[in-house]
Amino acid sequence: MKQGTNLQDPRLQSLNEQAYELIMKLAARADSYSREHEGLPRYDRFSYIPDITFDLHGKTGGQFICLPGSSKLRIRVNAELAAAHGQAFIDEIVPHEFGHLVAHLFYGDQIRPHGSEWKFVMSTVLGIRVFHTVHSFAVPRRSEPGARFCCGCPGKVHELSAIRLRRYQQGTRYVCRVCGRVLRPLG
């Protein structure tokens, strides 16, 4: 079991342990199903346990990663959303991403992310009756305002996100969609 990143927070340490317990239960279901049904690759619950990292940011709740040509499997979890929503978040996101892992192992990497194979894995293999393709958890808004820029429009102020501000500082220039002038910093 790999310890995820950002686990200095005791809440995340506890959620990491709960996520692994949940994955072990789901892995046992996938293992049992693959033993009982011919034609599917064997899911060995001890060989395909993913690393879990709490290093995802933004609005995305989770992400399954399997690098081509590698046996490394990883589930990334949004640390901020996990800390804010706790066990309910883990109970929804971890099975969703684990479903991607099992679908990948059973059907390969040429399937649609939320296609019929993934839905089959979620409902039949893992026994999850209610699942969503997008989480419904509230995403905390950033408290700091964006960088303020102006253009040629009278009284118009543009706010650039932290990412766009960094890109601006690295040389990217943005233009106003209305007047077509290059944005310049206020004040």
* Residues recognised as catalytic: 97
Q: Which helix (H) or strand (E) holds 64?
A: strand 62-66
Per the DSSP assignment, residues forming a β-bridge with 148 are 159
User: Of 18, 42, 38, whose CA–CA distance to 30 is shortest?
Assistant: 42
Alpha-carbon distance 86 to 79, whole Å? 10
Alpha-carbon distance 96 to 75, whole Å? 10
For residue 119, report the phi and psi dihedrals to the nearest 5 degrees.
-65, -40
